Amino acid sequence: MFGFRSLRAGLVTGALGIALTVAGCGGGGSTGATATKTGTQGKTIAFVGYGDASPWGAAYNKTFKAELASSGIKINDLTSMDAGTQVQNFNQAVSQKPGLIVAALWDTTATVVPIQKAKQAGVPVLVVDGRPDPSVEADVMSVLSDNEKLGEFAAQNIVEGLKAQGRESGKVIVLSGTKAMLVTQDRMKGFGKVMAASPQYQVIEDQDTNWDPTASGKVAQQLFAKHGCDGIQAAYGMADYMALPIVQAAKQAGCKVGGTDGLVVTGGNCFKAGITAIKSGEMYGTATEDPITIAKQTADYIKRYFEGANPPKSELVKEDRVTKATIAQFEEQCSQA
């Protein structure tokens, strides 16, 4: 999940044989991270990420583990779908003092204290996907999705789709991911910025469906029952697997989807099913942030870190907008999950 944000460079101090050092990068003098004892063999990671019940999380976790399978790194799987459980797992990881904690944060506020505890214990932390709370941003390394850009792409898809239909006004619904996450907040920041430039298109509902396709379908049904087909012209499901239930709910309500006068739907976190829907015309577009790409970049970062290659303190994954006009360029990337 997402100009995105200014990432502060700093120095994270490690213990138990792990330390981060400062290294110049190009001519900018940015801070990098390296381990004092190089090599991946025998290293242990505590993986405090999203659980497999999330389609995105399941694809990410499978790829992440596969990419590290031959490295000699042991992964202690502490993934969860619950924010409270994640805090407990994070604290457990700190007490075990692994070589690295890798965390995808459900609740950025709730994980401030565990990150602070990790710093005090000398355990380095790598945050992935969405940024941590600004108060501890300097205390972690990160591999981040460009979430604000992803929100911008979603709004661009909606505005472009509605204008292509010749609509001079329109009502838009949003089914978002977990609002306690900066992943979601950053996407909505980008989304809102673009939508504000086209005030003729108004967001009338913004519902938290917790990255859950089942919840997305139920909420979408409720919104079509509340507003009717004529009361909703476009919809943003923050992931493809949240956008597709909107399509199904619209059809069940007897609403047109796509075409010259039907519901304009955009997704995100591109999946194979989303690509298929774009080809068929049921979705106008999506965006990247596919789980496979960021999982591979995370695994590569970890290898570089343990091998003493001094990776930058923070890396941003490049994201792209996907529509029928550009689908050939991104179909392979977006069809691996």
* Same domain for 134 and 55: yes
Which residue, 288, 290, 314, 318, is CA-closest to 301? 314
Do 169 and 266 belong to one domain? Answer: yes
pLDDT of 12 reads 33
Q: Which residue numbers in the chain have pLDDT < 70?
A: 1-32, 34-37
Domain with residue 76: its CATH number is: 3.40.50.2300
Task: Calculate ∠ Cα 218-221-226, nearest 5°.
Answer: 125
Q: Which domain holds residue 72?
A: 44-144+292-318
Examine the domain organization and report whether 178 and 302 are in the same domain.
Answer: no
pLDDT in the model for residue 33? 77
Report the greatest alpha carbon distance in the chain: 63
State pLDDT tens for residues 66-79: 999 999 999 999 99
Residue 299 lies inside a defined structural domain of this protein? yes
The Cα 138–Cα 11 span in angstroms is 7
Say if 64 falls within a structural domain: yes
This prediction has a pTM of: 0.86
Instruction: Say whether both 136 and 191 belong to one domain.
Output: no
Q: Using one digit for the tens of pLDDT, what is the confidence trace for 251-287? A: 999 999 999 999 999 999 999 999 999 999 999 999 9
From CA 89, how far away is CA 103, in angstroms rounded? Answer: 10
